[in-house]
Amino acid sequence: MYVEISPRQSGKTTRLIQAASDYLRHNPTHNIAVIGMNSSHVKDLKNKFTTLFTNQNIGRIKFMSGNLFGKFDTEPDYWFFDEFGYMREEHVKHPIYREVIQNAYYCTTPGYNPSTNMVVDYCIQRNIQIHYNNPWTESHIMEQNTIGWDDYTREVVLGDWVRFMESKGLFNGIKINLIRKEIKKHRFTSW
């Protein structure tokens, strides 16, 4: 089980696609499901996958949105959820067993919503690592200044993420000290 909660525009979907590619390459007889939050998101995911995968591999992927979740002929060997935090809880659980799926890759932007809280709490209770990636260096943030987005990036993209991770106790000890240094370095407006 892999769970990632990272800020917006930090490459979550790119990493999900790479993980799916690696999984299929290492498991040549397996099939996977890729679940997006709605039909438009699934269409975008399918287009991204189609440009990167061979016809042989694309046939091993079942694409579905949360509202179609559970409608498959054969259960996939591994599940990939993109932006699961924007899905209803029942669309993030196994359609038959009604629990968080162990053989799954979950990634989302942080948010205080039932699906994110359910998966995070599940991981905390079972001591499953929750991954995060923050590519927002000072130079990257300053690039956003050219279009007037640097304050937005600091407050909404990074600020929301840090507040969520800290509220769930995912940043502690050394991690919280490092994050606090990043907060000071990036001059979050609300801190």
Please tell me the predicted confidence (pLDDT) of residue 109: 86
Total residues belonging to the chain: 191
* % the chain with pLDDT above 70: 68
Nearest to 99 by CA among 74, 67, 125: 125
Determine contact, residues 102/80, Cβ cutoff 8 Å. Answer: no
Q: How far apart are CA 108 and CA 26, in angstroms?
A: 25
What is the three-state SS of 59-118? CCEEEEEHHHCCCCCCCCCEEEEECHHHCCHHHCECCCCCCECCCEEEEECCCCCHHHHH
Burial class (CB in 10 A: 0-12, 13-18, 19+), 180: middle
Q: How far apart are CA 94 and CA 102, in angstroms?
A: 9
Domain ranges of the chain: 2-131, 138-186
Please tell me the predicted confidence (pLDDT) of residue 151: 62
The mean pLDDT of the chain is 79
Higher pLDDT pick, 104 / 91: 104
SS3 152: helix
pLDDT over threshold 90, residue 175: no
Which of 37-41, 93-97, 130-134 ranks highest by mean pLDDT? 37-41
What does the pLDDT look like over 40-99, one tens digit per residue?
999 999 998 888 776 667 888 888 887 666 666 778 999 999 999 889 888 888 877 889
Chain mean position to CA 168:
16
Higher pLDDT pick, 153 / 190: 153
What predicted TM-score, i.e. pTM, was given to this entire model? 0.78
pLDDT over threshold 60, residue 174: no
Please tell me the predicted confidence (pLDDT) of residue 2: 95
What is the rounded average pLDDT of the residues 113-118?
A: 89
Residue 119 token pair: 């998966």
Please tell me the predicted confidence (pLDDT) of residue 143: 63
2-131 CATH choice from 3.50.50.60, 3.40.50.300, 2.60.260.40, 3.40.50.170:
3.40.50.300
Please tell me the predicted confidence (pLDDT) of residue 177: 62
Please tell me the predicted confidence (pLDDT) of residue 95: 79
Determine contact, residues 41/82, Cβ cutoff 8 Å. Answer: yes
pLDDT over threshold 90, residue 178: no
